[in-house]
Chain A
Amino acid sequence: MSVAKEGFEPLIVAFCCNWCSYAGADLAGTGRMPYPANVRIVRVPCSSRVNPSFVIRAFQRGADGVIVAGCHPGDCHYHSGNFFTRRRLSVLRRLLEYMGIEPERFQVRWISGSEGAKFAQVMTDLTADIRALGPNRKLRDAL
């Protein structure tokens, strides 16, 4: 279900928790660590704020890949939010795969505020993976 890959620049939506991963992105920026401009960040208060609807909506509206990034388990600013995220999105990821979405297109990562380099690396790798997969047409709105 992939289409022509030539000259394809993937669109990646990254839901980043305010306290860790968004700070990690900030650190990557201030540290001049480059990562692909394909990534569009949506800041959320906590990774557990990410309703599965957001993920599907992103695919509907043209995302080729979606990543949710939050604090490392145990480090949640709200004590336990990301523990719930971990359970919830584990199930969602399997469900999406079951519905026929390539699992590579939906990722979850733990990135702390001090991991600017990791943020840049994760986004670079993800962009390369999605670029290799090609554009996503699944779950897409036909406008």
Chain B
Amino acid sequence: MKKIDKSKLEDLWGRLAAEQDLFLPVQQDSVVNFALWQEGSRVNLEAVNSLLPPKDLLFPQSEKIFSYKRREGELSFEEAPGSGPQVIFGIRPCDVRSIELLDPVFFKEPADTFYKNRREQTTLVSIGCLEPDTTCFCTAFGIQPLDAEGADVMLYDMGTAYLVSPRTEKGEKLAEEMGELLEEAAGAEEEGLQQQQEAAASAQEHGLDLDGVFEKLNDMFDHCIWEKFYRRCLACGTCTYLCPTCHCFDIQDDGSPEEGQRFRCWDSCMYEDYTHMGHGHNPRPGRRERVRNRFMHKLNYFPKDHDGVYHCVGCGRCVQKCPVNLDIMQVIEEIGKEGVGGEGHDR
């Protein structure tokens, strides 16, 4: 296996950034988010995890679809420009999995060309997590904290250097760009990796069991369990906007009859207007229905359509940042406790 010394990272980034857009976790105040690398960026590769997931690099919070102009009665349209190649450097395995969960949503025919273009030109360089945060629970979803299956290049933190393991054609190509910055790793380092992997897999203490949660929920739409959780909800969009797998969007127009644009932007099922119909009716009139929808989507609707795969990767962002501690782990636990067809059904 190859390795790269941590002292050579700046060189490496400079080199990668010359060929494509390079995004990595950058510190600003107390906040670490993925940002375009520039010389002097305060890169923070230690943070587990970035505050916002890097999903906006594939699915921006808002993006132009087309713009229009009317001049002397002539209406003209201009499509949004395409995107170029990019590298997401330092993405954690949970976020890599989240992209694998977004793929089937956006690739499903008719494929979302905006997402698809970006995705096809994106190379994911993932860093394994040695020390989880206390709110991490990715292992509950079968994710290996040290190994992202969907990464193009996997980096393993060995202290002063990263072991570099290209996984895909894109990854090989990127390794080539790294050129002489890569050195041959010693056998001892590769052995150390084995131990790290075992330690990392058992470092999380959540004790969550997802077994049967999806099936139970089939029957729990009207269950009283939602009463317990929705009342504290403030109906803000923090959980959905910080979620690496949430992917709902709205389409809006902005401008005048003479000139303007159509764009799409993130939307949240926590918002009242998300299901507000044109004729005034709202099929999800309150927080109860909206909170239920969020969890049902993550734990039941999505798995139903995707071979039982849950739409959560255990990154813990919503757990950390929900202002009223509406904790998905607790929701999962409570669902787990309920017997199928038992008390509490039909509220």
Which chain A residues have a beta carbon within 8 Å of chain B's beta carbons?
A: 141, 143
Contact = CB atoms under 8 A, between A and B. Distances in A.
Nearest to A143: B261
Interface in B236-266: 254-255, 259-261
B123 to A, nearest CB: 28
B17 to A, nearest CB: 24
Contacts, number: 7
7 contacts: A141-B254, A143-B67, A143-B254, A143-B255, A143-B259, A143-B260, A143-B261
Interface in B192-216: none
A141 B67 CA distance: 14
Nearest to B64: A143
Contacts of A143: 67, 254-255, 259-261
A124 B254 CA distance: 33
Nearest to B67: A143
A141 B255 CA distance: 10
A143 B254 CA distance: 9
Interface of B: 67, 254-255, 259-261
B73 to A, nearest CB: 21
Nearest to A61: B256
A142 to B, nearest CB: 10
A103 B244 CA distance: 41
A141 B260 CA distance: 11
Contacts of B260: 143
Contacts of B254: 141, 143
Contacts of B259: 143
Contacts of B67: 143
A45 B67 CA distance: 35
A141 B263 CA distance: 14
Nearest to B259: A143
A8 B284 CA distance: 52
B262 to A, nearest CB: 12
Nearest to B256: A61
A143 B261 CA distance: 8
A143 B62 CA distance: 12
A143 B67 CA distance: 9
A57 to B, nearest CB: 12
Contacts of A141: 254
A128 B260 CA distance: 31
A143 B69 CA distance: 12
Nearest to B255: A143
Contacts of B255: 143
B60 to A, nearest CB: 14
B266 to A, nearest CB: 18
Contacts of B261: 143
A60 to B, nearest CB: 11
A67 B259 CA distance: 26
A141 B254 CA distance: 10
B328 to A, nearest CB: 36
A143 B260 CA distance: 7
A126 B268 CA distance: 44
Nearest to B261: A143
B260 to A, nearest CB: 7
B313 to A, nearest CB: 33
Q: For the complex of A and B, list the 6 residue pairs with the smallest distance between their C-beta atoms, beginning with the closest.
A: A143-B261, A143-B255, A143-B254, A143-B260, A143-B67, A143-B259
A143 B256 CA distance: 11
Nearest to A141: B254
A97 to B, nearest CB: 23
A41 B200 CA distance: 66
A59 to B, nearest CB: 16
B250 to A, nearest CB: 18
A63 to B, nearest CB: 15
Nearest to B260: A143
A141 B62 CA distance: 14
A143 B258 CA distance: 13
A10 B346 CA distance: 65
A6 B150 CA distance: 54
A143 B253 CA distance: 11
A41 B202 CA distance: 69
A38 to B, nearest CB: 20
B124 to A, nearest CB: 29
B68 to A, nearest CB: 11
A47 B260 CA distance: 30
